[in-house]
Amino acid sequence: MESYKKSIIFIAISFLLMLVLIGCNSSDAQEQPINTGLDPDEWNNLAFKDIYPLHWESYMKNMENEKEVLPKNDPSIEPFLPILWNGFGFAVEYNLTRGHTYAFEDQMNVRRITQNPNAISACMSCKTTVFPAMLEEFGPERAYQLNYHDEALPWLEDFAGEYKGMMTDEHGNVAEWGHASVGCSTCHDPVTMELRISLPQLTDALDRLGFDFENVTQHDMRSLVCAQCHVEYYFDPLNDRQTTFPWGYGLTFEDMWEYSEYQASREGGFQGEYVSTISGTPILKAQHPEYELWSYGPHQTVSCADCHMPYQRVDGKKKVSSHRWGSPMNTMEESCLTCHGDKSVTYLENRVNDIQYRHKDALLRAQEISVSAHYYVNRMITRGVDEDKIKEAQALVREGQWFWDMPAAENSYGFHNPDGAMASFTRSIEKSQQAIILATRELMKLGEDMEELERQIEITKENVINEEIHHEKHKQAINEWFPNVRDN
């Protein structure tokens, strides 16, 4: 009797133990230190293919576009960009995003690069796994300011060109430079596969903020790997044009504005990416500040990877972090319901749509007012208003533009931080309106026909919308009424 009981208990325990073991196995827990056997400086994505076939398969899904890659200045998206960025490459070509596997190739082929003989290698610092090798080769003094076409590309072709065109998905789509595009070594140590920061622009920026690298958590790293690129930046003329984040005063749009203005006030400091041909204003062009906007939003305790790289079961049983970076709205079960289990997918979709709808509405309003501000200042210049007044109005145009451009360049349409984005639009509208009021006062002193001015602005906007060739639209923004005030 006694021994019968014992053996039942024994069998029960063995059974439980077995379940635990099977459980561990199927959740793919990785407690053992990993050694891939790869070179510590491995940069080629193809090198990881056979070691991590499931991650590779997921990564290659980035080759399938989730949405049509439209030009952003399409009338259905942001129709007035060719006016607002007039005088800068972004007015010529700027497209919606697509997968990481295409990042490098898309950069090489965009007119902002192909038509700009002065483009520099700093542009590559958030596109390719080869950038750390370029740094090694040229040193930080030269690596960022090589001529893109005459120096950087030939070196790259030599260094990494032999694998070109080797990344093809099952539909035969080729990512020409996919083997060197945003990839494994960008976020992982090639030997241990631990998450790492491979691009010094982030380490430097965190250093300046006094970030505690010793105590960085895995949770932090699940967002910091993205912060290498999904941030606002400029190429610092006071520091060999190195890619630099304006984080000296903090990460809100307001903080970054103050810091950028402080930089601009310094002798030889960064003034902006270009001077507007319409208003003569030096403009700070916003990049993609996803990390910053998220950092003071309602989901700041949720990492980028939690939503954008949820665990997915593949191969029947194994759980791997999704390596297809796209819209979490396509993976809501894994991305959202893990926390919002009390809500339905439809409820959450509606909430997100509401946020994004309000955001786009405010964005378009802020852009239209900014357009008027640019043209009013153009008129101040051609009518010969006092230099001081023009400068004052330009400062307002500059601020108005930054505060719509930051939330516009941020790619979540406000989802990452609805209130932060809205506060930015409010400030934008306020500043652009102040510029218009100032200009109106000065122009009326000169007897300007304000109704005619308004009419000419509307005609010009129509011409921009009606031009069908996207990269020609910017030419319609300048005319006899509103001449280029920069290049003469």
Residues of this chain that interact with ligand HEC (CB under 6 A) are: 45, 48, 52, 55-56, 59, 66, 97-100, 102-103, 106, 126-127, 182-184, 186-188, 193, 195, 218, 222-223, 225-226, 228-230, 290-291, 294, 298-299, 301-302, 304-309, 320-321, 323, 325-329, 332, 335-336, 338-340, 348, 351-352, 411-413, 415-416, 418
Q: How far is the CB of 96 from ligand HEC (least distance, A)?
A: 7
End-to-end CA distance of the chain: 105
Q: Which is nearer to ligand HEC, 352 or 397 (CB)?
A: 352
Task: Give CA–CA dist 185/47, Å, rounded.
Answer: 10
Task: Give CA–CA dist 6/40, Å, rounded.
Answer: 53
Q: How far is the CB of 175 from ligand HEC (least distance, A)?
A: 9
Q: How far is CA 248 from CA 205, 245, 262, 421, 427, in A?
A: 8, 8, 10, 20, 21
- Bridge partners (DSSP) of residue 314 are 318
One-letter identity of residue 325 = W
Task: Give CA–CA dist 221/176, Å, rounded.
Answer: 29
Q: How far is the CB of 302 from ligand HEC (least distance, A)?
A: 4
Q: Which is nearer to ligand HEC, 27 or 426 (CB)?
A: 27
Q: Which is nearer to ligand HEC, 182 or 390 (CB)?
A: 182
Task: Give CA–CA dist 283/270, Å, rounded.
Answer: 11
Q: Which of 88, 488, 6 is nearest to 274 (CA)?
A: 88
Q: Which is nearer to ligand HEC, 82 or 328 (CB)?
A: 328
Reading the block at residue 51, the tokens are 């070691």
Q: Which is nearer to ligand HEC, 301 or 346 (CB)?
A: 301
Q: How far is the CB of 276 from ligand HEC (least distance, A)?
A: 26
Q: How far is CA 227 from CA 123, 179, 274, 290, in A?
A: 16, 22, 25, 8
Q: Which is nearer to ligand HEC, 59 or 375 (CB)?
A: 59
Q: How far is the CB of 298 from ligand HEC (least distance, A)?
A: 4
Q: How far is the CB of 233 from ligand HEC (least distance, A)?
A: 11
Beta carbons of 393 and 380 less than 8 angstroms apart: yes
Q: Which is nearer to ligand HEC, 103 or 377 (CB)?
A: 103
Q: Which is nearer to ligand HEC, 59 or 270 (CB)?
A: 59
Task: Give CA–CA dist 416/294, Å, rounded.
Answer: 5
One-letter identity of residue 468 = E
Q: How far is CA 121 from CA 64, 233, 350, in A?
A: 28, 14, 42
Q: How far is CA 357 from CA 77, 103, 361, 391, 428, in A?
A: 12, 28, 6, 35, 18
Q: Which is nearer to ligand HEC, 167 or 390 (CB)?
A: 167
Q: How far is CA 400 from CA 24, 293, 380, 426, 476, in A?
A: 55, 18, 18, 9, 23
Q: Which is nearer to ligand HEC, 37 or 268 (CB)?
A: 37
Reading the block at residue 76, the tokens are 């259905």
Q: How far is CA 134 from CA 110, 129, 180, 323, 358, in A?
A: 22, 10, 12, 26, 43
Task: Give CA–CA dist 299/443, Å, rounded.
Answer: 47
Reduced to 3 states (helix: H, G, I; strand: E, B; else coil), residue 275 is strand
Q: Which is nearer to ligand HEC, 66 or 430 (CB)?
A: 66
